[in-house]
Every structure is written in structure tokens, then in C-alpha cells.
């Protein structure tokens, strides 16, 4: 059974009862409380099972479960998942290309995503790793106000990687 326990599924012999108007009726035997709830056409729902004695309310179970599910869906909808976006560059990148890529990096960080900057080396460029490192340091300095470097530049095969995260 999922959701809160109600009516005959409540296991404790005594419960603290709150009626449908929110008034505390005090501690009662569970059977008496169930009878009182059925008199007003509602169910006895356990709202705080870990209290001593457990707290139970006069509610409509279907409506209570529906409201709880609606609240959970709203919470799930409002949370933002953080994605990792990738920007690929070359060590001898031209200024205009660099500026275009930096606009994208800024855009991704503003949206709250992480950015993985990949510096790809081909052929002889590999022997000039310092050129790639310089470009990545320039990227890190340029976005220093809005992002922090989460993973500093490191070589992985023929590419150098750096991860930026929003501050």
C-alpha cells in the first residue's frame, strides 16, 4: 500500500485526532475515532505516523492522495536539471571564432548548465600543448565573474578538457 494509512490500516490502538475543521479532539481509541469520522462521511487518515501517539485527521482519502500527488508533480516540474554542454575549440582558433564560441559559453552558463570546453589537437599541434593551454586560460579568465573552473585543463589522449560551472 502506498500513501498514508487510513481507517482500518492504522495500526496503533490510540491516535491524537483532529477533526475536519482542524480542531484537536485529543487522544482517542482508533475504533472510536474511525466511527466519529464515518459519522461526518470522511475517513480517518494518519498524517503524522511517527508522533507518539500518531496524529490522524478526518479527511477524504481520495482527495488527500490527489492533493499530495499534485504537490509532488509541481515540485518535480519546478526543479532544473543541470546539463553539461560541450564547446569544441582548436589551439590556433581565430579571434572571431573564439568570440562566437565564448558567446555560447556565456549563454550556457547563464542558463545554469555546466560547460565542458574541449581543445582538440591534430597532427603537430600536439607538440605545442602550451598554445591550447593558453586558449583555455583565456576562456577561464573571461568567464571568471559568472563561472568557476570545476575541472582544470587536463590532457586526455589528443584533447585537453576543462569544465566550467556557474557560480
pTM tops 0.85, yes or no: no
Question: Which three-class secondary structure state does DSSP give residue 40?
Answer: coil
CATH 3.10.20.80 fits 7-77, yes or no: yes
Q: Which pLDDT belongs to residue 1?
A: 66
Extract the C-alpha cell encoding 45: 487518515
Q: Which pLDDT belongs to residue 70?
A: 94
Question: Domains of the chain: which residue ranges?
Answer: 7-77, 84-166
pLDDT digits (tens, 9 = 90+) for 56-65: 999 999 999 9
Give domain 84-166's CATH architecture: 2-Layer Sandwich (3.30)
Q: Which pLDDT belongs to residue 81?
A: 79
10-residue mean pLDDT profile of the chain (167 residues): values are 86 94 93 94 93 94 91 87 92 94 94 94 91 94 93 93 94
Q: Which pLDDT belongs to residue 78?
A: 83
Question: Which three-class secondary structure state does DSSP give residue 149?
Answer: strand
Give the span between the Cα atoms of 66 and 97, in whole angstroms.
53
Q: Beta strands of the chain (E only): which ranges?
A: 14-18, 24-29, 43-48, 55-59, 84-89, 114-120, 147-156, 159-166
Q: Which pLDDT belongs to residue 100?
A: 96
- How many Å is the Cα radius of gyration of the chain? 30
Amino acid at each position: 500500500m502506498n500513501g498514508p494509512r487510513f481507517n482500518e490500516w492504522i495500526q496503533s490502538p490510540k491516535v491524537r485526532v483532529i477533526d475536519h475543521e482542524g480542531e484537536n479532539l485529543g487522544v482517542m481509541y482508533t475504533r472510536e475515532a474511525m466511527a466519529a469520522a464515518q459519522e461526518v462521511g470522511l475517513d480517518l487518515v494518519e498524517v503524522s505516523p511517527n508522533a507518539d501517539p500518531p496524529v490522524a485527521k478526518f479527511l477524504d482519502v481520495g482527495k488527500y492522495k490527489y492533493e499530495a500527488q499534485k504537490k509532488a508533480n509541481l515540485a518535480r516540474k519546478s526543479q532544473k536539471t543541470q546539463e553539461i554542454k560541450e564547446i569544441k575549440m582548436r589551439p590556433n582558433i581565430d579571434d572571431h571564432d573564439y568570440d562566437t564560441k565564448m558567446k555560447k559559453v556565456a549563454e550556457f552558463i547563464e542558463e545554469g548548465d555546466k560547460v565542458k570546453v574541449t581543445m582538440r589537437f591534430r597532427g603537430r599541434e600536439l607538440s605545442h600543448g602550451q598554445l591550447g593551454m593558453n586558449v583555455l586560460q583565456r576562456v577561464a579568465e573571461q568567464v571568471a565573474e559568472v563561472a568557476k573552473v570545476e575541472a582544470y585543463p587536463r590532457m586526455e589522449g589528443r584533447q585537453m578538457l576543462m569544465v566550467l560551472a556557474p557560480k
